[in-house]
Structures are given as structure tokens and as C-alpha cells.
Amino acid sequence: MGTAQEKDSEIYNITSTKTITVPAVGAEISYTVPAGKFWKVIGLVATLTTSATVNNRVTTFIFTDGTNEIYRNILRTNQTASHAVKLQGSQFYALPSDTANTVEYFPLPYNFALGPGYVISTSTANLDTTAVTGDAYTAIFAIVYEYDTVTQ
């Protein structure tokens, strides 16, 4: 019979890691699911490194169908200046302790498919948008079950 994860892997054939384009310094993440593909996002990771500009940042992850917002998660911890934090989302959400505030864990919706043209993005309160020296998102990737739209 197998686990739910094994069944998803059989149905969708491919579990893969998708590298998401790193935005310019001071810019938000924005990535569009490619044409002809559906994704079930089971993991999402990014690192936000903040500049020395004193202000608390709060990251929000947003999924849209290209126009309409369909999922929003405002992370629960303020990120201070001159600090790097790994932002790690999962369908299989657990909340381990991180007293050093170096990892922020957040849940992703379970069994939720993003179609072609759907967008994964961020909106960050107080993001330092200064070119070259501003806040920077790096090391961005999604772990997905991916399948072609023609198989549906």
C-alpha cells in the first residue's frame, strides 16, 4: 500500500528540487511555474540576509494563480538587521527549537497543486531595497512533485 508520500511519487513520477532564480539585492522573490507543468510544492527554502539598516523585517510567502492570491503565510518572527535566516517551509511541518534564530520554519498547504503560470513570491515588510547593499534573498529552491499538464 505505501505511505502518502510514496503514492504521490508514483502518481506524479518525479520528485525534484527546482532552483529558483535569485532576485537582485533589495528585490523580492518571484517565480512562475513553467508552462506545461503542475507542481505540488512539498518544501520551499530561501535565505534572507538583512543589511545593517536598522529595522525589523517580516517575510510573507504568497502563491497566486498569476492574478488572484490563493495562499499567504506571514512568518512569525521579526528578522533584525545584519542577520541571515534560513526560511524553510514544509507540508510536513514541525517546529524544532532554534534559539539562535537562524532558521524560521513555516507550514505549506498539503496536497495543493500550482498550475502553469502560478507564482510563488514574497512580500517583505521593511525590506531594504538599496541596490548592492540592501537585503538579499539567496539559496532559493523548491522541492516539488512535478507532472506535465498533458497527463491530466
Residue-wise pLDDT tens digits, 59-100: 999 999 999 999 999 998 889 999 999 999 998 766 665 656
| Strands in the chain per DSSP E | 14-19, 30-32, 37-49, 58-64, 69-74, 84-90, 103-107, 113-114, 119-125, 136-148
Cα separation of 83 and 50, whole Å?
5
Delimit the domains of the chain by residue range.
4-147
Sign of the torsion angle spanned by Cα atoms 123, 31, 88, 72: positive
Does the model's pTM come out above 0.75?
Answer: yes
Beta strand 84-90 with 113-114 is unpaired
Residue-wise pLDDT tens digits, 96-148: 656 567 888 899 988 888 999 999 999 999 999 999 999 999 999 999 998 88
Classify domain 4-147 by CATH number: 2.60.120
